[in-house]
Structure 1
Amino acid sequence: MPALYFTEVEYRARLAATKVEMEKSGFDTIILSDPANIFYLTGFDAWAFYSPLFLVVSCNLDQPIWIGRFMDAVSARDTTYLRDENIRSYPDHFVQSSTSHPVEPTSEILKERNLDKGSIGVEMGAYYYTARIHAEFVRNLPNVRFGDAELLVNRVRLVKSPAEQDYMRQAGRIADAAMAAAIDKCAPGVRECDVVSEIYKTQISGTPEFGGVYTTSPPHFCAGERVRTPHGLWTDQPLQNNSPLNIEIAGARLHYHCPISRTVYLGQPPESYWRLADAVVEGLNTTMDSIRPGMTAEEVELVWRKSISRHGFEKEARLGYSIGLGFPPTWGERTTSLRPGDKTVLQPGMAFHCMSGLWLENTGIAITQSFLVTENGNEPLTLFERKLAAKN
């Protein structure tokens, strides 16, 4: 029996919701290449997306069709609810070949199922849907009208089921543990890479109750002058006294992510840095206190913007983004952003990372909060105290 993370009833509900969106968009069929969306609709869980991997969803079929490299079909049988007839593969000579492409056998499978006509949606902006893949589909399926179905399934994913919410809470506990391990390790003279090794260890070992999995990106670890950069990586240099460092990581439970960022200051922070930290924490707390269902994404950002402006700060980048299920290279769902112009209405079950950080010309700070929207407000997914972590 396959090792499913969710019930078949839940998978069928996700598929039904996807088909409703397909019909609204005028698609007879969609071809998915985003591994998060393939996982969401089937449970498929293996590192197989380095080679072309597809999930075909048709309004006329009761199950999707998984199509991937022949050796990964074993994982499809082990981790999905799909019947064997809907697990299809292509031979190994199509893998990383300069003379042929996996879209060729994929197109033949579509023809077998009479899906080589009508309107087909593809994920034009997905990270793993390449220009070569699209050109091959156009060449091999001349009777198809291709359209852009990017984010169609991502939007179905916006509201999390109770089971998904539980996984995200567990991811939050892993994130808390990993951040605690990192801050505990930080000290003048300790190499940056040695702190990050503690993060990785805790991310995977998780808690005594549940373990973690790999996250979509490496830890962002910005020490010294790099504290003014949001997405820098660690070095093998020792940490210096009297300087800040920013850490952004996530806990991941069965690919459901809960991000967290904290700033650590080694030594005694100057008064100017305390003022910066106080402004960020006040803005974050004020924002979290205001969040409730029915608000729009841009209204959430406006609360933050007004708060930090009273301290003389402004932030050009978005305040946050929707989170949940994630595969490399991002734990963001690429749908809703907390920023001006995004009029998405918050609903119970949506999840976000409130990325309340400021990166200035010569310094930076990041003290953030992931949360679930609830019936009456919001639920923090991490419990780590919202403050500057000063280590004298």
Structure 2
Amino acid sequence: MTLHPTFDTQAQIQGIEAAFPAAEFAERQARARAAVVAGGHEALIVTGPETIYWLTGRQTAGYFAFQALILPADGEPVLLVRQLELFGTLANTYLPDIVAYQDGDNPAEVLVDLLRQRGIVNPAIELAGWFLSPKLAAEISERLGVASLIDGSQILPSLRMIKSAAELEAIRHAARYAEAGMIAGIAACAIGADENAVAADMLHAATRVGSEVMAMEPLVSSGPRSGLPHMTWRRRVLEAGDPLFLELAGSHARYHAALMRTVWMGAAPDEAQRMMDCALRALDAALSEIRPGATCAHVHDTAQAIIDGAGYTAAFRKRIGYSMGVAFAPDWGEGAILSLFSNVTRTIEPGMVFHLPATLRSYGQWTVGASETVIVTETGAEPLSTLPRQLTIR
């Protein structure tokens, strides 16, 4: 185990890569600490890269290696990272206490040693993230000498639902990048081009105008492939009569905004156009119902009623939207935090951000629809794109 470098080195690079001012992270940590106290816990161990970033600004492509933030109910947090990540962590955070473990060290052992040094006996821990395996969680529990770890996965998500002014500004930038990518992708759709060319133009345009790495790759699929969810480009050459499904997110300081549109190479079949019209009516209806005081379920149920009424229930069968914000691969959304879906009784508030992909599928034939990322204001939903939603004929 190696402590952070000398104070002189730390002072030279501390925070030079930080995405937000120190005050932004201090305010988040204060609210998080209050939530830990309210839950009756002595500390929370944060393991998800999104939440660690939200609290500290820590970001890297190397988040596949174990990392953990110890957030005590009283006192300053301490961040445990792999040795290779130490200087990058210093650069993109303002944390005074960072501990690094060597590649030959056992992260569970190092983490438990840190807890004992700080007198933390039985902390809560984020168990629901992507990067804490059941095996590692079991080892941490065994080394702590507790029968089971306290699951603290639900302590902080509600704090991330409502975005600060700085977060909203980042999302607006991300939306601009996504729109640039979508415009380029639509323009690249031509008979004889292939899916790779479309994806390349989407990525190139979004990146050129400012997008950072996206938490999920763009979705580009054509012909019958477009009728399968979450397909990515595979060199298929575009032909007359092909449908194309295009979706991507832009990223700014790890905050994401997504956008989806549909293209057809020539005239679309009547049934596809009817489905497209229905999807757009459902999207418009959902957007009109997003306002402070409405429930997430109400927004979804409004869209679902339109889809059911048109006879396309089987072509939908999903939520109408999900929360957006900080994202690391494998997902660009915050869907695990908040969904616009049946029985989700959470009340919508100003500062929330949602992506609403209104899509209808004829499986194995086509997907049609459009999406918007919106910010919830005091009066309703503010879409972050001005790109026309109708089916684009090329």
TM range (shorter): over 0.9
- 1:247 corresponds in structure 2 to 246
- 1:347 corresponds in structure 2 to 349
Q: CA deviation at 1:111?
A: 1.4
Given candidates 143, 153, 157, the residue that maps to 1:154 is 157
- 2:299 corresponds in structure 1 to 300
2:154 is the alignment partner of 1:141: no
TM-score normalised over the length of structure 2 = 0.92
- 1:316 corresponds in structure 2 to 317
**Residue type at the aligned position of 1:37:** T
**Cα shift readout 1:113-154 (whole Å, capped 9, x = no counterpart):** 212x13x12221200111122012012111586211114322
- Which aligned pairs between 1:1-392 and structure 2 lie closer than 5 A? 1-3=14-16, 4-61=18-75, 63-83=76-96, 86-94=97-105, 101-115=106-120, 117-118=121-122, 120-142=123-145, 146-205=149-208, 207=209, 211-314=210-313, 315-333=316-334, 334-361=336-363, 362-391=365-394
Counterpart Cα distance in 2 of 1:195 and 1:341: 38
**Residue type at the aligned position of 1:163:** A
**Residue type at the aligned position of 1:75:** G
- 2:3 corresponds in structure 1 to none
**Residue type at the aligned position of 1:64:** P
- Point out 4+ residue stretches in structure 1 off by more than 3 angstroms: none
Counterpart Cα distance in 1 of 2:351 and 2:343: 22
Counterpart Cα distance in 2 of 1:246 and 1:326: 22
**Residue type at the aligned position of 2:112:** S
Q: CA deviation at 1:303?
A: 1.3
**Residue type at the aligned position of 1:114:** G
Q: CA deviation at 1:7?
A: 2.2
- SS state at 1:356 partner: strand
TM-score normalised over the length of structure 1 = 0.92
Counterpart Cα distance in 1 of 2:132 and 2:154: 13
Counterpart Cα distance in 2 of 1:135 and 1:15: 27
- 2:9 corresponds in structure 1 to none
Counterpart Cα distance in 2 of 1:256 and 1:384: 20
Counterpart Cα distance in 2 of 1:296 and 1:231: 28
Q: CA RMSD in A?
A: 1.5
Query: Which ranges of structure 1 fall in alignment gaps of 5 or more residues?
Result: 95-100
**Residue type at the aligned position of 1:32:** V
Counterpart Cα distance in 1 of 2:387 and 2:99: 45
Conservation of the 8 A alpha-carbon contact between 1:203 and 1:214: no
- 1:97 corresponds in structure 2 to none
Counterpart Cα distance in 2 of 1:89 and 1:107: 14
Counterpart Cα distance in 2 of 1:65 and 1:40: 15
- SS state at 2:69 partner: strand
Distance 1:157 1:55, change over 3 A: same
Conservation of the 8 A alpha-carbon contact between 1:90 and 1:106: no
Structure 1 stretch displaced more, 304-313 or 121-130: 304-313
- SS state at 2:149 partner: strand
**Residue type at the aligned position of 2:104:** H
Conservation of the 8 A alpha-carbon contact between 2:33 and 2:74: no
Conservation of the 8 A alpha-carbon contact between 1:222 and 1:230: no
- SS state at 1:332 partner: coil
**Cα shift readout 1:269-310 (whole Å, capped 9, x = no counterpart):** 122222111111121112212221110000001111122233
Q: CA deviation at 1:373?
A: 0.6
Q: CA deviation at 1:202?
A: 2.2
Counterpart Cα distance in 2 of 1:338 and 1:256: 19
Counterpart Cα distance in 1 of 2:24 and 2:251: 21
Structure 1 stretch displaced more, 345-354 or 14-23: 14-23
Q: CA deviation at 1:66?
A: 0.8
